[in-house]
Structures are given as structure tokens and as C-alpha cells.
Structure 1
């Protein structure tokens, strides 16, 4: 699965596992805040950060080796933040999707993780509400609920009533509280509106390509980018225009 930090704290019950995947191109503080939010809300025993391999809906991503390296650097800082906040979740950086040949379909990932953690574990896919709004465009999206819960952090302007009808119907049918997600293995939808963070990786890449964020000694890191990730980007000369 990759890098792990800390020890799970299941205390004899079924484990609670959250999976935060994405292109992470680059990983930013919004991703980390979402992970920490659900680590607390769901009292997770393990939080998995999973850089995507081949994204079916995206092209031209930065090489997987760089995205994985940036994720590991960001995970170091997130682990410190979580410990300082009293969160005891084990933090894992997984290479499952990067190592798998072919497109990275989330349903395949969740199927594999369900096999690994067993039928009783509370397994949750952690996403932003923008992804929830287009969940119906994902490959075999309804099958996700056979393996996991879907937990979404609302971004500013989110309105569930604007979701596509089929997604809205699933929200109505499946919505659960945090306690219900913690105590059941799969099949629910949780929407958390306490974070309200709106950070765009596309805008970050544009900022990184700008002159004011160049490689000179006076270069400034964009807001919302972990310092270690910024340094890696500079060292590897990524996102140059």
C-alpha cells in the first residue's frame, strides 16, 4: 500500500477506513483539510491518500512518480497536523492505482480495498462536493455503494438540489449521519458542510507557471501549497510555462 505512519486504533471493533484519491497535480492544502476533516468526523482508524494512475477523465497529468513524491511530502506534514489535533488515524500513502495497469477506475479500487479490509470494515470514499455533483459520469458509479460509503465535503455554492436527478435520488435514498457511517460498512452518502474550502489545482498550476512564482531566490510559493511540495516543484522544475 505504500508509506504508513502511526498505528490504527480499532480497539476490537471493525476498522474505519477513509480513502482520499485524486490526481494530486499538485496536492494542496484543500486536499489535506478534507482528509483531516473526515479523519475527525468519522473517527477514522486509517486515512489513505491515493494518487491516481491513469485518469479516465483527464489527460496530460504530471508523471505519476512526481505526483506520488509530492503526496508523500504532503503526508508528512498532514501526519504532524493530525497528531497535534489529537487524531489517531494511521496515515497511508497508497500506490495501488499507480501500480495498476490501465485506467484508474475508482470502483475497482474500492472493490480491492473491500477485499483487503473485509466485509465488516466501515470503508468511505472521501470526495469534494464538485465530484459528488458529477458522480453519475464515473464508471459503474452505482457499484461504488456495494463496497463503500461516499462522503463529500461541500464546497462554497454547493446545492444538492442542483445535482443530476439520478445523483439527487441516491442522496435522498442513501444519506446517513456520521455516526451511521462509522457503524456500518458501506452504502451511505454523507455530506459535510463544515469545511467550505474551494481550491483549484488548475489555478495553482497556472500560478506556478507565472513569473512571480519562478525559480529565483525571491520566488514566492502560491497560497494553499504545502512548503515541502513547493520546494519539490522548484527542485524538479515542474509546471513551468
Structure 2
């Protein structure tokens, strides 16, 4: 059974860095389906500036034409804080207990994982694939993570992609991904200053932002 990847985020707005990260991790783990999961109410940061409807529309435009990416609306319509452990539990109920799931996270997000709601349960529900910058191997930054998180990493880390298909959850993969210095906050700042965001977001997303006068 091939794994299903999951990339969650506020996506305010979604940009090429998000999409390239998902593509790199999916290729590394031979994943044919990645759920792009815009969150409704993020628990760890301020609310999104764009509405849920706009962020959902931009995500849909961003992934159009890539058969690997699937838009997932499990969180986007919620008005209460969205916790990944609850979302993965819902996906497990929908997809079955044997389906391998791989949660995609960036290195910075992983370093704060022990602050997530019921974070240790994540490993019962999914594998983790951690994206990090090329030229910065894990040995250069892993000493900064919390001891409890390091314990999980040492116990669960695997360099064998087959393990992520052979079991439903519980392993950790580390992967250098294409470096793209793009952030949603930087895009919003450029728009507020009247600067171009072309080639930072998919062209269809660029047109949507212009047409709806978002972030300006």
C-alpha cells in the first residue's frame, strides 16, 4: 500500500516553496498522493489575513495540473483551533488503520513539535518526513531540539523508504529539499509595499491575489 503524504499549513498565501517541498518529499518516498491541507484556525499563530474561502481557492489553483496533489478540506471550514492530531485521527477513520500516512513538516516546525497538542500521539497516527535545507545536514541542527524530541528521533529515524510503505505510522525520514527562500509573510510584505510577487507563487495564484486585492 503506497503512503499518502499530508502537507498542512495556513497557506496565506500558498507559494512555490510549499509546492516544491511537497514534490521533493513525495519523490523521495515514492508517494503518488499528497493531501494539501489548508488549516482553518491555526492554534500556534495569529489568524490568517485571507479568508478561508480565499485560501482554499488559492490552494486549489496552485495544485491544478499536478495529479499528485489533492486538496483536503478537513480543517479549512473549522472555526475552532485545528490540531493535527485530531485531523490525522479523522483521516485514519476515513482511510483505515493500515494505510501508511506521512506528515510533511519543515525542519523549523519539527524543532517545535514538542509544543504541539498531544504531539507524541502523532507517531501512532503517521510517519513524519522532515524537510531541511541542503548543505545543513541534521547533525548541524539536531542538537538544538528538546531531549524528548531527540529521543523520538533516535528511536524512529529510518533511511529505508520501504519502511514508510510497509507500516502505517511511526517512522521519521529526514530529507534535504530544494532551497527556495520564500515565505508567506514575505509575500504579504511585498504586496503591502506594492512590489511584485511574480515567480514566488503560481501564476494562477498571482492573478487571484490581484483580482481580489488581497494583502494590499
Give the TM-score, by structure 1 length: 0.82
Secondary structure of the structure 2 residue equivalent to 1:151: strand
Pairs aligned (count): 210
- CA deviations 1:36-92 (Å, max 9, x no partner) are 112211211321101001101122312111110100000115x0xxx6xxxxx4x21
**Cross-structure match for 1:170:** 152
Match status 1:46 vs 2:22: no
Contact 2:126 2:170 in 1 (8 A): yes
Q: 2:188 aligns with which of 180, 200, 205?
A: 205
Contact 2:33 2:70 in 1 (8 A): yes
**Cross-structure match for 1:20:** 7
Q: Write the mapping of 1:55-94 to structure 2, written as runs, cut at 5 A.
A: 55-61=42-48, 62-77=50-65, 79=66, 89=68, 91-94=69-72
Could you tell me how far apart the structure 2 residues matched to 1:239 and 1:143 are?
A: 36
Match status 1:102 vs 2:84: no
Contact 2:36 2:70 in 1 (8 A): yes
Match status 1:146 vs 2:124: yes
Secondary structure of the structure 1 residue equivalent to 2:46: coil
Contact 1:153 1:193 in 2 (8 A): yes
- CA deviations 1:175-232 (Å, max 9, x no partner) are 0122221222101111102433442211111011112x3xxxxxx3344211111110
How many Å apart are 1:155 and its aligned residue?
2.9
How many Å apart are 1:101 and its aligned residue?
4.3
Q: Which has the higher contact order (CA 8 A, sep 6+)?
A: 2
**Cross-structure match for 1:34:** 21
**Cross-structure match for 1:238:** 214
Could you tell me how far apart the structure 2 residues matched to 1:176 and 1:74 are?
A: 31
Secondary structure of the structure 1 residue equivalent to 2:76: helix
CA RMSD, Structure 1 to Structure 2 (Å) = 1.7
Structure 1 residue ranges (4+ consecutive) displaced by more than 4 angstroms after TM superposition:
none
Change (3 A) 1:161 1:68: same
Match status 1:115 vs 2:93: yes
Q: Could you list the runs of 5+ residues in structure 2 that have no partner in the other structure?
A: none
Contact 2:127 2:169 in 1 (8 A): yes
Match status 1:224 vs 2:207: no
Contact 1:207 1:222 in 2 (8 A): no
Give the TM-score, by structure 2 length: 0.91
Could you tell me how far apart the structure 2 residues matched to 1:199 and 1:171 are?
A: 27
Q: Could you list the runs of 5+ residues in structure 1 that have no partner in the other structure?
A: 1-13, 84-88, 214-219
Contact 1:120 1:185 in 2 (8 A): yes
Match status 1:183 vs 2:170: no
